[in-house]
């Protein structure tokens, strides 16, 4: 019975309920900081329900539309943590849209609900509905500042997102038309029994698979679907830029792993083919992202191209999942650990940018000159996060890259790892350029850079995560491995 399964959706339903409470409270209270507190409370309650379900057996609900398993629960934790850190960091930013704080917090919560559903979706229909629920909220949030750059960012994100959704839907239609199924496990049963000749005689099915990869490619910002990133990252409110770079990307990789591994993981030659496809896209994506980031003078655009490059590194894990043909969980767990590390690192970098840019009213890297003297703690935090993005010790970035590259080498992708290592060396140039400007440049002013306790708390949590994942990664690796066991090993 569907009603009896509702308790398995308590993380999403409770968060949606708190989003509605935020909207209603906004009508009656003048102290808008209460709304942030209610939003954080909603995220904590949702996380509590998620934690209570961690040890439960894997089950499909709502006629196999959604899966309740550790893989989905892992990503729900990650998304809830990202949303919580963004809301805390937004306390120094919401003055820019003071009249619309209720809508801002509610949209962040609703987008988190959509992405949580996306990570649990086990049917093409539920995947598309969840994707649109999160996407529409993010389109609005990107244009929330209502100035020229923000409006342009929202419009570009909306138009290109609509095109990507259409491509994805067309791919889903082709897969459904040729298999007669929308359930991922059912699609897997049909595809697995088809002989090689049968699949090769169905170019429409192969086109459908390519279109699925293209549609999801927009979500994770890989080449050639990355064109929206720099403008949207620059124009959107900085907290939303951080949210897009982490939460949206994590949800995108989660749904790609579920769709391609569950529905298209067999026969083995098909899995190897899409693994090689992702390997090629990975090499191109990381190279383009790093090379173009070198010439950027705006720190948000630089981190935007950095985000594209990081998607390339993450796709090394996707390629490994494909070419491993389900042999072991090393590639899948490496991908999840990398996402954890990337989340705390990138959020930390953007939160530091929020504090500094709010004070100097500029996102230009040149205006960060001497920030080590004006705001030493913020500069230390930003330096730590940039060093982690390069992949240097003792940070999370180093362990994440070792983990994911090790899996790739084990499965015959040494050439891709060599490309990734070269790109990591390239990235050191533009990351360390920011560090050099902050610590070696002469400050244009002696005025300190103030920040709220909420922003400092969120930044401290991110930096703590960067160090913990880098120094004692064992328990976090265990979580990632537990999350992917549901796919078999």
Secondary structure in 3-state letters for 408-473: HHHCCCHHHHHHHHHHHHHHHHHHHHHHHHHHHCCCCCCCCCCCCHHHHHHHHHHHHHHHHHHHCC
Question: Comparing 23-27, 60-64, 112-116, which segment has the lowest mean pLDDT?
Answer: 60-64
State the burial class of residue 455 (Cβ atoms within 10 Å of its Cβ: 0-12, 13-18, 19+).
buried
Length of the chain: 489
Q: How far apart are the C-alpha atoms of 119 and 127, rounded to whole Å?
A: 8
Cβ atoms of 260 and 321 within 8 Å: the answer is yes
Per-residue DSSP letter, 395: S
Select the more confidently predicted residue: 448 or 347: 347
Per-residue pLDDT, 305:
93
Give 330's pLDDT tier (boundaries 50, 70, 90): low
Give 40's pLDDT tier (boundaries 50, 70, 90): very high
- Percent of the chain exceeding pLDDT 90 equals 51
Q: Which helix (H) or strand (E) holds 353?
A: helix 330-360
Average pLDDT over residues 392-406: 91
Q: How far apart are the C-alpha atoms of 416 and 414, rounded to whole Å?
A: 5
Q: Mind listing the pLDDT tens digit for each residue in 177-223?
A: 888 888 998 888 888 877 766 666 778 888 888 899 999 998 888 88
Per-residue DSSP letter, 183: B
Q: How far apart are the C-alpha atoms of 144 and 147, rounded to whole Å?
A: 8
**Rg (Cα) of the chain, in Å, rounded?**
22
Q: What residues have CB less than 8 Å from 1, skipping those under 6 apart? A: none
Q: Mind listing the pLDDT tens digit for each residue in 410-426?
A: 888 899 999 999 999 99
Cβ atoms of 83 and 112 within 8 Å: the answer is yes
Per-residue pLDDT, 488:
54
Flag whether pLDDT at 463 surpasses 80: yes
Cβ atoms of 332 and 466 within 8 Å: the answer is no
Cβ atoms of 39 and 105 within 8 Å: the answer is yes
Cβ atoms of 382 and 306 within 8 Å: the answer is no
Per-residue pLDDT, 197:
64
Q: What residues have CB less than 8 Å from 167, skipping those under 6 apart? A: 211, 214, 215, 218
Task: Look up the pTM and report it.
Answer: 0.94
Residue 121, φ and ψ in degrees, nearest 5: -65, 130
Give 489's pLDDT tier (boundaries 50, 70, 90): very low
């Amino acid at each position: 019975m569907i009603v009896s399964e509702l308790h398995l959706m308590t993380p999403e339903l409770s968060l949606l309920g708190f989003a509605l409470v935020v909207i209603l409270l906004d009508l009656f209270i003048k102290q808008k900081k209460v709304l942030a507190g209610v939003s954080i409370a909603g995220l904590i309650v949702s996380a509590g329900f998620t934690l209570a379900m961690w040890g439960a057996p894997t089950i499909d609900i709502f006629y196999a539309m959604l899966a309740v398993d550790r893989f989905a629960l892992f990503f729900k934790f990650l998304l809830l943590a990202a949303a919580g850190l963004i809301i805390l960091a937004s306390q120094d930013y919401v003055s820019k849209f003071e009249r619309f704080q209720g809508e801002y917090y509610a949209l962040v919560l609703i987008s988190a609900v959509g992405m949580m559903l996306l990570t649990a979706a086990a049917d093409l229909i539920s995947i598309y509905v969840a994707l649109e629920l999160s996407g529409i909220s993010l389109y609005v949030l990107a244009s929330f500042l209502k100035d020229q750059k923000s409006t342009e960012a929202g419009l570009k994100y909306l138009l290109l997102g609509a095109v990507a959704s259409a491509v994805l839907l067309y791919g889903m239609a082709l897969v459904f038309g040729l298999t007669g199924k929308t359930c991922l496990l059912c699609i897997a049963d049909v595809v697995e029994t088809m002989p090689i000749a049968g699949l090769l005689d169905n170019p429409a099915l192969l086109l459908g698979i390519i279109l699925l990869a293209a549609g999801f490619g927009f979500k994770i910002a890989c080449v050639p679907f990355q064109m929206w990133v720099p403008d949207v990252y620059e124009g959107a409110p900085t907290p939303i830029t951080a949210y897009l770079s982490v939460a949206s990307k994590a949800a995108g990789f989660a749904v790609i792993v579920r769709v391609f591994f569950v529905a298209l993981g067999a026969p083995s030659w098909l899995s190897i083919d899409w693994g090689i496809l992702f390997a090629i896209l990975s090499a191109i994506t990381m190279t383009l992202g790093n090379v173009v980031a070198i010439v950027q003078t705006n720190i948000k655009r630089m981190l935007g191209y950095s985000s594209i490059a990081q998607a390339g590194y993450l796709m090394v894990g996707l390629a490994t999942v494909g070419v491993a043909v389900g042999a072991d969980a090393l590639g899948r767990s490496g991908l999840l650990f990398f996402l954890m590390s990337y989340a705390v690192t990138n959020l930390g970098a953007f939160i530091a940018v929020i504090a500094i840019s709010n004070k100097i009213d500029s996102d230009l890297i040149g205006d960060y000159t001497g920030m080590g003297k004006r705001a030493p703690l913020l500069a230390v935090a930003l330096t730590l996060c940039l060093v982690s993005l390069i992949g240097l010790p003792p940070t999370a970035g180093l362990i994440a890259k070792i983990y994911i590259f090790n899996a790739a080498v084990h499965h015959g992708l040494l050439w891709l790892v060599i490309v990734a290592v070269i790109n990591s060396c390239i990235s050191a140039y533009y990351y360390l350029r920011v560090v050099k400007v902050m610590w070696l440049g002469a400050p244009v002013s002696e005025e300190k850079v103030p920040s709220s306790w909420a922003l400092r708390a969120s930044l401290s949590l991110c930096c703590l995560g960067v160090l913990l994942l880098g120094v004692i990664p064992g328990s976090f690796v265990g979580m990632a491995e537990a999350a992917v066991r549901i796919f078999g090993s």
